[in-house]
Amino acid sequence: MTTSASTSEQYAWIRLSLEPNLSPSLARVLLATFGLPHHIYAQSISTLNRYVPTALATQLRANTTDAIEQQIQHTLEWAQQADHHLLFLADDHYPADLLSLHDPPLLLYAKGDLQQLQLPALAIVGARSATAAGTENAFHFARYLVAQGWCIISGLATGIDTAAHQGALAPQRANSTIAVMGTGLDLVYPSRNRELAHRIAAQGLLLSEFPLGAKAVPYHFLQRNRLVAALSKGVLVVEA
């Protein structure tokens, strides 16, 4: 786990990120007002009610449900494994480029080499049903750019995304790619890219804002795309 937070602080960050009906933007307002998550949970309902609806203020003061408690404990256990990381909004390792968003994720799940986040990054994205020429172009663009010191970011989808990740992993001396996923990091979508995801975790970085166990649903990929764009200096679109 890459964080300087104590176990109780980690617990509070994870809990805050899992709170139903609490958006990242509203959570950021609470953090700006009260400080760290455990400070938010120490406030009275009446104080919280100045910033959030009564039902949400009551929820924040209540004990966690059994389901959320199990998810928190599962997340803490997951983070103890090698190369598994939790990046909280206040952590030094949290990507600074995401702070310009109005709704930066409170918590990022990462698996692999965090140094990838320190490199200048370009996104390569495009059609899932790409032509052979399109995938070849994406592959060679990624391979060339990585050799020039760039990190290639994409979304692990079929077609152009897959070719971009594969191209970034092709150079023998310079592997650099980040896959921003639309599921929890314990799941791989599409399943055909499971082996590719393992390679990225070993030679690059898997990143997600979604909790463990989160399945692939359409709006997740729209959310994911804003992180791909925010982390990148530019976006190369191939066959869209």
1-30 confidence digits (pLDDT tens): 556 678 899 999 999 999 999 999 999 999
Phi, psi values for residue 49, rounded to 5°: -65, -15
Task: Give the whole-angstrom CA distance, residue 138 versus residue 45.
Answer: 53
Sign for the CA dihedral angle at 160, 162, 165, 170 comes to: negative
Q: Which of 211, 219, 226 lies closest to 20 in space, CA to CA? A: 211
* Cα separation, 15 vs 9, whole angstroms: 10
- Render pLDDT for 216-232 as a digit per residue (tens, 0 to 9): 999 999 999 999 999 99
* Backbone φ and ψ of 121, nearest 5°: -125, 145
Mean pLDDT of 76-88: 97
Q: How far is CA 78 from CA 109, 167, 209, 216, 229, in A?
A: 10, 29, 15, 20, 27
CB 40 within 8 A of CB 60: yes
Residue 209 has pLDDT above 70, yes or no: yes
pLDDT higher at 172 or 155 = 155
Cα–Cα nearest to 14, from 65, 87, 83: 87
Structure tokens at 143: 């391979």
Tokens (6 digits) for 122? 């370009």
pLDDT in tens, 190-205: 999 999 999 999 999 9
